[in-house]
Copies of this chain bind each other. A is one copy, B any other.
Amino acid sequence: MRQSYDLMFASSNKNKYNEAKEILATFNIALGFYKCELEEIQSDSLKKIASHKSQNAFSKCKCPVIIEDDGLFIDALNGFPGPYSSYVFKTIGNKGILRLTCSDRKAKFTSIISFSDEKNSSKIFEGTILGKISQKALGTGWGYDPIFIPEGETKTFAQLENKNILSHRHKSLEKFAKWFGKRVSIAR
């Protein structure tokens, strides 16, 4: 393992890494970037996909590693787009989601952090934020941010300044950091 990092973040997406690095830095965890294409399996379960992905990442980088996977789950659409959120965004986009969503607009964003090392086949940390789908896209932001309003808010993720503190990704990383920090302090 490279000396200057506590563990690696495996992804093809540098922006995703930068966000995770900043959050973990607040817990004194130094996160390195391991740029790679990871094998993803098809499954209705985000946890299964994430677990397979971090095992695949560990087989490549041979050092403690996390991966992150997330999805938007809309109640009235049986959880669609769920584990296939990226593909659905690329094809039908927010316009498609708004067209599909009717009176019941309840939804949630879930982020999974999966950690793998020589001892752990995979260890899962989940962060979820409840909310609803807006009537129209508002604000400029990435992915589904312009159409998701978190519970207790009136603005979309794309309009909110404190999105990163509220986010599902922050929650899953925080859970991971608390576990990982404790684990390291025991080992030292």
Contacts and interface: CB of A to CB of B under 8 A. Distances in A.
A182 interface: no
A175 to B, nearest CB: 25
Interface of A: 39-42, 44, 49, 77-84, 87-88, 90-92, 96, 99-100
Contacts of A39: 41
Q: Interface on chain A toward B: helix, strand, loop, or mixed SS? A: helix
Given A41-B41, A41-B42, A88 B80 contact: yes
25 contacts: A39-B41, A40-B41, A40-B42, A41-B41, A41-B42, A42-B42, A42-B49, A42-B84, A42-B87, A44-B87, A77-B92, A78-B90, A78-B91, A78-B92, A80-B87, A80-B91, A80-B92, A81-B91, A82-B87, A82-B91, A84-B88, A92-B100, A96-B100, A99-B99, A99-B100
